């Protein structure tokens, strides 16, 4: 469904993403993990079209989208919930959700279905997004992405700053999406949670992918080593 070949993404001279290749099949769930500054958000933002791709090729559903505008990617079914949620704080929950509908892709998601998925948003639907709790804001940001009927949903730091109970609620919702067959790439700092959720674990270190394995075939020790770069020489290609 998504195919990244040898992607480089730069901030000026700095190569934040270095020769990353990644294949994502329909219905897969991927936990993208790695230390702070590893390049996770940069990669996801480049996939969503929020940052330019310096070199390499990106395709989605067999169409090359390396330089496509982000709204065209949403039209094709690729939707990112960015780190930090990025809601319009002066607009209500409902207005924020409806923004996801401005790109009119056919599908089942509408306000009613989002409110069924996130029941605690219903009673606050007319409240300004800026007045919501962190968990409510996260649910709204996910709901807004769902309103565009994505085939690939990308979630960056889905549980950042949320209390454990709210994290459980958010995960219960995205597990429902996963079990319904939505393809999901998720960045999560809580390793155990990420591994339990996803079918594949992809670990980045200093802009590169250093581990890409089925979660069922990997163990915590292997992931920790990749995360901290303890096996760099074995897994990293020369720069
Ligand atoms: N706007 C920017 N300008 C310059 N450098 C940036 C910018 N954003 C990120 N970087 C740098 O690019 C690298 C990758 O950052 P990125 O945000 O992708 O990491 P991350 O893996 O998402 O980290 P975190 O877990 O902290 O969110 C870091 O070294 C960071 O300092
Ligand atoms: Mg990040």
Burial status of residue 230 (CB atoms within 10 A of its CB: 0-12, 13-18, 19 or more): middle
Strand partners, 29: 184
Tokens standing for 56?
């390499």
Mean pLDDT of 85-109: 89
Q: Is the pLDDT of residue 108 over 90?
A: no
With a CB cutoff of 8 Å and minimum separation 6, the contacts of 184 are 28, 29, 30, 152, 153, 154, 155, 174, 177, 178, 198
Assess contact for 207 and 32: CB atoms under 8 A: no
pLDDT score of 231: 67
Helix or strand or coil: residue 161? coil
Helix or strand or coil: residue 137? helix
Question: Whose alpha carbon is nearest atom 27 of ligand 1?
Answer: 36
Cβ < 6 A, ligand 1 pocket: 11, 14, 16, 34, 36-42, 83
Instruction: Write down all domains in the chain, each with its CATH number in brackets.
Output: 2-86+151-235 (3.40.50.300)
* CA 42 to centroid of ligand 1, rounded, Å: 6
Burial status of residue 24 (CB atoms within 10 A of its CB: 0-12, 13-18, 19 or more): buried
Q: Are strands 78-81 and 152-156 parallel, antiparallel or unpaired?
A: parallel
Tokens standing for 38?
């590893």
106 or 205, which is more confident? 205
* CA 36 to centroid of ligand 1, rounded, Å: 8
Choose the residue to mutate in 16, 40, 202 for probing ligand 1, maximizing ligand atoms within 8 Å of C-beta.
Answer: 16
pLDDT digits (tens, 9 = 90+) for 13-39: 999 999 999 999 999 999 999 999 999
What is the spatial distance between Cα 142 and Cα 105, in angstroms, rounded to a whole number? Answer: 16
């Amino acid at each position: 469904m998504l195919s990244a070949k040898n992607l480089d993404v730069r901030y000026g001279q700095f190569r934040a993403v270095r020769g990353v290749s990644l294949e994502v099949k329909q219905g897969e769930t991927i936990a993208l993990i790695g230390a702070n500054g590893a390049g996770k958000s940069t990669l996801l933002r480049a996939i969503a079209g929020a940052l330019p791709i310096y070199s390499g090729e990106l395709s989605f559903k067999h169409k090359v989208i390396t330089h496509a505008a982000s709204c065209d990617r949403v039209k094709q079914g690729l939707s990112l919930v960015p780190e930090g949620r990025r809601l319009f704080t002066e607009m209500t929950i409902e207005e924020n959700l409806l923004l996801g509908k401005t790109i009119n892709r056919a599908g089942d998601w509408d306000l009613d279905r989002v409110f069924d998925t996130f029941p605690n948003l219903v009673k606050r639907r007319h409240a300004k997004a800026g007045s919501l709790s962190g968990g409510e804001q996260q649910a709204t940001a996910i709901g807004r992405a769902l309103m565009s009927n994505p085939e690939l949903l990308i979630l960056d730091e889905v549980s950042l700053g949320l209390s454990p109970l709210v994290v459980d609620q958010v995960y219960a919702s995205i597990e429902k999406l996963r079990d319904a067959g939505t393809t999901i790439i998720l960045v999560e700092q809580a390793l155990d949670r990420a591994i339990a959720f996803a079918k594949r674990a992809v670990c980045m270190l200093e802009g590169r992918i250093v581990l890409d394995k089925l979660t069922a075939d990997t163990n915590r020790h292997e992931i920790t080593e990749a995360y901290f770069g303890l096996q760099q020489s074995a897994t990293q290609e020369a720069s």
